[in-house]
Amino acid sequence: MEGKIFDTHAHYDDRRYDQDREKILEMIGREGVGLVTNIGSSMEANRATLSLAEEYDFVYAAIGVHPSDTAGLTEADLAWLEENAGREKVVAIGEIGLDYHYDEPEKDCQKRWFRRQLELAAKVKLPVCIHSREAARDTLEIMKEMNAGDIGGVIHCFSYGWDMARTYLDMGFYLGIGGVVTFKNGRKLKEVVEQAPIEQLVMETDAPYLTPEPSS
């Protein structure tokens, strides 16, 4: 595995890959990608993610429900997540968190299921993959309230400034860095990458999202 890339966050279950998923997964293995964590985002995506992990040796799974998909979440769904968290190739709970970019689901709904999934991660002793978009203060407050530093994990697609980065780094979290860092307007993220310990930075493609800035 030495010299291979570890993509810590991807979504190869996405419907955009329905026509060529097998071809792409075979190709990335030839192009220097050694391991992939495929990240769940909805109950449907979680099931597809587990299937990919079963089919491909180099694919591992994270299961959880993205804040944008929490409106229909139930305690039965949470029980399913707990049951499947014990599978051998499930390595994290995620992606979970808060997303205030849109008005729905309402914030209280997102917060409730964020707390419940943090509780789940602590119970099953798996790290978390945190999604936080335009919700910096509430995300951090809930994570401190729930002692998320004892759980650990990755702040996916980190997009805040150095002060927030330092707080998460001090809590023991890793920062997920993707294609956004290549954009000309990514100055704030570039400053974070320059100052953060390289040991606490992880590479993520978020495929098929967050591509690097086009070269032309």
Per-residue pLDDT reduced to its tens digit, 100-135? 999 999 999 999 999 999 999 999 999 999 999 999
List CB contacts of 180: < 8 A, sequence separation 6 or more: 157, 159, 186, 189, 210
Q: What is residue 185's predicted lDDT score, i.e. its pLDDT?
A: 78
Domain assignments of the chain as residue spans, ordered by start: 5-203
Residue 186 pLDDT greater than 60, yes or no: yes
State which amino acid sits at residue 118: L
SS3 at position 215: coil
pTM listed for this prediction:
0.94
User: What is the Rg, in whole angstroms, of the alpha carbon atoms belonging to the chain?
Assistant: 17
- Please write the tens of the pLDDT for every residue from 52-102: 999 999 999 999 999 999 999 999 999 999 999 999 999 999 999 999 999
What CATH number does the domain located at 5-203 have?
3.20.20.140
Residue 17 pLDDT greater than 90, yes or no: yes
The single-letter DSSP state of residue 184 is T
**Cα–Cα dist 141/161, whole Å:** 16
**Pairwise pLDDT comparison (186 vs 106), residue with the higher score:** 106
